[in-house]
Structure 1
Amino acid sequence: MIRRATINDLKYILDIYNFYVMNSVSSFDTSIRTVEGGEKWFNEHDDKYPIIVYEDNDIEGWASLSKWASHDGYIGTVELSIYVKHDSKGKQIGKKLFESIIKKAKELNYHCIISRITEGNEVSRKMHENYGFTYIGVMKEVGKKFDKYLDVHLYQYIIE
């Protein structure tokens, strides 16, 4: 079941996220995010910038729409994030979250969704392409993790 996240879900959201922090380049965070530290991020998400979770007895994945930039002119643009529990892959959870969060962006009348995908994350790139996102460019070596500078690829979805 997909539903809106509550503050009670934060620990589980962070458990999923922190696995990727420590074991992948999906996030450029380099240290575990605590519940206390995660509360600020969570509280920046409201009806306008939702966080949703996929729950099947446990929280197995989450997705969010976040403010793209602080300038008022970017009000119609959001950034998409999706993370699935590492041992829940192959259950189509990412697909379900992707469909739900795009539907939510349409309901909220956003015009543009942006995703930043780190070099090497082919699963995410393929999923974005399958859902009609357009590759719009690369930012060369803008992030560093595990002692390596990495490119970040930008994908965009214009909501008609």
Structure 2
Amino acid sequence: MSLIKVSDVYFLIERARIDHLPAITEIYNDAILHTVATFDTQPKTIAEQEIWFQQHVDPLPIFVALFDNEVIGWSSLSAWSDRCAYAKTVETSTYMHKDHQAKGIGTKLLATSMTYAQTHGHRNVLARIVSSSLASRHLHEKQGFTLVGTMHQVGEKFGQIHDVCLYQHLVL
């Protein structure tokens, strides 16, 4: 658990617990319904998220940011592929509650995931980011991610076709 200060506001970052799952799900479902940060199109149920949560044990954790004991954001490391040769390559996801975006907290959450990746044997951390999400792209670039390619017209959401940028960070 880490106590973090950003702009005179203190918040905690800690490993996610099962009792955080409703708030994690609420934040993710808001992103599903209102943004192109995820290409999921249907809100997730708690039952679906419980399965996802159970897949995030060492070395694939979920971290949460807490303000006044409420989850305001989360970051996870997930397997990039189920093929064994990719075992040291993970994908990161970071989502913030809409009322807590652009405050530097997402930066701290992503940094926590990156530190974990570096100290737990992961070689590569990848991120898929819709090309129009300049804030997310900048967030990852600040953490040392490099744009390695753009996949053109691979996602369709809200009646628009989207390109997706692939970012990579070599951590070892």
TM-score range, shorter chain: over 0.9
Establish whether residue 53 from structure 1 lines up as the match of residue 64 from structure 2: yes
Could you tell me how far apart the structure 2 residues matched to 1:138 and 1:98 are?
22
Which amino acid in the other structure matches residue 2 of structure 1? I
Match of 2:31 among 9, 20, 23: 20
Secondary structure of the structure 1 residue equivalent to 2:76: strand
Q: TM-score by structure 2 length?
A: 0.90
Establish whether residue 89 from structure 1 lines up as the match of residue 101 from structure 2: yes
Establish whether residue 155 from structure 1 lines up as the match of residue 157 from structure 2: no
Alignment of 1:1-150 (within 5 A): 1-57=12-68, 58-150=70-162
Which consecutive aligned stretches of 4+ in structure 1 deviate over 4 angstroms post-superposition? none
Secondary structure of the structure 1 residue equivalent to 2:81: coil
Per-residue deviation, 1:37: 1.3
Gaps of 5+ in 2: 1-11
Q: TM-score by structure 1 length?
A: 0.97
Could you tell me how far apart the structure 1 residues matched to 2:137 and 2:131 are?
9
Could you tell me how far apart the structure 2 residues matched to 1:107 and 1:56 are?
26
Could you tell me how far apart the structure 2 residues matched to 1:125 and 1:76 are?
23
Per-residue deviation, 1:47: 1.4
Could you tell me how far apart the structure 2 residues matched to 1:150 and 1:18 are?
20
Instruction: Give the stretch that moved more between structures: 83-92 or 127-136.
Output: 83-92
Could you tell me how far apart the structure 2 residues matched to 1:90 and 1:121 are?
13
Instruction: Give aligned-pair identity as a percent.
Output: 38
Per-residue deviation, 1:119: 2.1
Secondary structure of the structure 2 residue equivalent to 1:141: strand
Per-residue deviation, 1:91: 2.7
Could you tell me how far apart the structure 2 residues matched to 1:96 and 1:146 are?
30
